[in-house]
Homo-oligomer: A and B are copies of this chain.
Amino acid sequence: MSNDDQNGIDYSMLQSRLGYKLRRAQLVYFDVFFEACAQEGITPGLFSILAIIYHNPGLTQSAVSTALDVDRSAMVAAIDKLESMEVVERRKSKNDRRSYALYLTEKGKEFTERLNRKVSTGEDRFDKFMKEGEREWLLDLLDRIIENRKGN
């Protein structure tokens, strides 16, 4: 068996590195996303925010940031942009005057659904390289990795 690619480069040391392979594969799916949503003016990060708010209306910015595991300071510009696109709106929370409750506008709901369909069909392109049930298996394995990141 060979560790060379078509250019004759030996990848031995990276061949079994899951970190490297995951990164490369993630970049492939990033391209898929970009190809599907570039004209919508959206990024993967913004899509994940929309996806969270879609199923969890009324969440605060901090709640969304912890749900997606990003710093809450990064939410400011993101929500600003989504608000300028008129797909998300900040509503003043009644019981906590520090925070906002985030909601999708009607336009935002349709936008998110359309985006989800486009990304979904974009990802489907890779199903042909997977055997029966492999996609579900991959999702499950990735979940196991993600959930066990902290403890030993």
Contacts and interface: CB of A to CB of B under 8 A. Distances in A.
Interface of A: 3, 5, 7, 9-33, 44, 48, 51-52, 54-56, 59, 63, 66-67, 69, 112, 116, 119-120, 123, 125-126, 129-130, 134-135, 138-139, 141-146, 148-149, 152
Given A21-B139, A29-B22, A148 B126 contact: yes
Copies in the complex: 2
Contacts of A9: 52, 56, 59, 63, 67
Majority secondary structure, A binding face: helix
29 contacts: A7-B63, A7-B67, A11-B51, A13-B52, A13-B54, A13-B55, A13-B112, A13-B116, A14-B48, A14-B51, A14-B52, A16-B120, A17-B51, A18-B126, A18-B135, A18-B138, A19-B26, A19-B29, A19-B32, A19-B44, A19-B123, A21-B143, A22-B29, A24-B142, A25-B142, A25-B146, A28-B149, A31-B149, A129-B148
A119 B22 CA distance: 14
Nearest to A3: B55
B123 A17 contact: yes
A19 B3 CA distance: 26
Q: Which 10 A-B pairs have the closest CB atoms?
A: A19-B29, A13-B51, A10-B55, A22-B26, A21-B142, A28-B149, A129-B144, A25-B142, A9-B67, A25-B145
A17 B142 CA distance: 11
